[in-house]
Amino acid sequence: MNDIRVRYAPSPTGQPHIGNIRTAFFNWLYARHNGGKFVVRIEDTDQERLVEGAYEGILEALSWLNIDWDEGPDKGGPFGPYLQSERLEVYNSAANILITKGVGYYCFCDRDRLNNLRKQQQENKSDIKYDRKCLNLSNDEIEQNLSNNIPHVIRYKIPADNTIQLNDIVRDEVEWNTNLLDDFVLIKSDGFPTYHLANVVDDHSMNISHVLRAEEWLPSTPRHLLLYDALGYEPPQFGHLPMILGPDRSKLSKRHGATSILEYRDLGYLPEAVINFMVLLGWSIDDHTEIINRQEMVKLFDLGRVGKPAAVFDIDKLDWMNGNYIRDLSDEDLFEHVKHACIGEFGANIVDQYSDRLTKMTPLISPRMKYVTDAPDMVSYILTDNLSVEKEFIETCKLSSSDIAIALTATIKYVQEEIDFSKDTLESEMRIICGQLEYSPRNYFGLIRNVLTSRSATPPLFDIMEILGPRDTLSRLDNALKLFQ
């Protein structure tokens, strides 16, 4: 199926979100599964709503998720340009063809008239539609208005009493009655096309074979099919992907944990975890498999397994999945993620200075990590030689002040004399000390943990002591003892 050509056509009116990128990924999977082409096209015709940096954010999000594209505004290709703002002549040409055929017409109604018309229709509880005041203007009237530079749009004349049918790849048979449609705008007063015209013209001129897009675009489809017919184009196959809802079945929003894709990166999610999570928002290989690698996705992706019901966004599931992917990383790969996060928190100089400690610590924190960004807080106490621990925190070990002083003195003496500072020897010898002091292991080792890490919960204590080494361990014990003398 080498003729498969699909596209991702976002508008740079904000940062890409989970639903938007889910659409991109399904298109990418379909192209890669079938040996086809994945095209990125930027639909920047809504000039009033453009957001600075959004275009760059779209490409950055795709790159972070390793969703590569074959053609696009940065790469070029045989059907460019891939920015709609650079294709205005193409849209104007199509609009002129529609006018010549009698299905497109100029409309010179100003905003006030249209607002009053809408208000009146609402009061009368009638259909909200343009009343075609400008449909039958004479050529002379049109030319005069144009020569006087009266603002105008170009509309499409909806045929009456027609039934439009679509065999949707996902939603099966869908049909619409044209009497329910309005004469929609093709070219806006600023000279830019609407989504409807630009979308159809570009999908045709770029040889797009399949349009896979969100269900929210299904109501626009009859307009697009009318345009395909009027322009003499062969329409692509359409597949409308299921909506994504919050756990309470309401529209997905930030209160459900949904945010922009790049914020997931900044929050410490791994790209492969996000990809795995997204692919299950509407598709599956069976009724129970949840962890799927990218190679399996490409091999098994089938539009026949895209569901009709809305998918439910569950941030807890994404967190669980991210933890799984973190634990599956090799020590080397995890270290690179941890290093990057720590550089952002502490700076490159600190991370370079304690790189050996960080390398040894990384596999110890992996089981506890939910996000990559957990790492800086989990390792901060090993990235310094001058850890400061409050006396009140040390005392949470539930030993008296005198017992704390005794325990620290005995441990200092041991550390000063110990030659083999391996974790196994440390554990064996310090358990002997604990027994000799007749303290409970919970209280004694809790004390040492508090002193060395300023934390009540850490990876295994003896691993940490081995990483800190005898000099830093001794320094921290000495500083703590001074607080109790």
Q: In this structure, is the dihedral angle defined by the CA atoms of residues 173, 179, 182 and 187, taken in order, positive or negative? A: positive
Q: What is the structure's pLDDT at 2?
A: 52
* Residue 187 contacts residue 194 (beta carbons within 8 Å): yes
Q: How far is CA 370 from CA 75, 187, 317, 465, in A?
A: 36, 49, 11, 24
Compute the chain's Rg from CA coordinates: 32
Residue of 394, 365, 342, 390 lying closest to 467 (CA atoms) = 365
* Residue 209 contacts residue 239 (beta carbons within 8 Å): no
Q: Which amino acid is at 423?
A: K
* Residue 197 contacts residue 94 (beta carbons within 8 Å): yes
Residue of 184, 6, 193 lying closest to 90 (CA atoms) = 193
What are the pLDDT digits (tens) for 272-294?
A: 999 999 999 999 999 899 999 99
Helical ranges in 180-260 per DSSP H: 195-205, 221-231
For residue 379, what is the enclosing H or E element? Answer: helix 375-379
The one catalytic residue in 251, 254, 299, 398 is: 254
Q: Which amino acid is at 181?
A: L
Q: What is the structure's pLDDT at 1?
A: 43
* Residue 69 contacts residue 38 (beta carbons within 8 Å): yes
Q: Which two tokens stand for residue 260?
A: 């922009």
Q: At what angle do helices 221-231 and 88-100 cross, to 10 degrees?
A: 70
Report the residue count for the chain. 485
Write the burial class of residue 355 (CB in 10 Å: 0-12 exposed, 13-18 middle, 19+ buried).
middle
Beta strand pairing status for 163-168 and 172-177?
A: antiparallel
Other Cβ atoms less than 10 A from the Cβ of 322: the count is 24
What contacts 24+ positions apart, CB below 8 Å, involve 476-483? 476/387, 476/389, 476/451, 476/452, 477/408, 477/411, 477/412, 477/415, 477/448, 477/451, 477/452, 478/412, 479/388, 479/389, 480/389, 480/394, 480/408, 480/451, 481/405, 481/408, 481/409, 481/412, 483/391, 483/394
Using left for φ > 0, alpha for ψ between -120 and 50, and beta otherwise, residue 322 falls in alpha
Alpha-carbon span 247 to 1, nearest angstrom: 38
339 labelled catalytic: no
Alpha-carbon span 292 to 295, nearest angstrom: 8
Alpha-carbon span 58 to 65, nearest angstrom: 11
Q: With a cut of 50, which residues of the chain have pLDDT below it?
A: 1
172: CB partners within 8 A, 6+ apart: none
Q: What is the structure's pLDDT at 485?
A: 86
Q: In this structure, is the dihedral angle defined by the CA atoms of residues 70, 75, 78 and 84, taken in order, positive or negative? A: positive
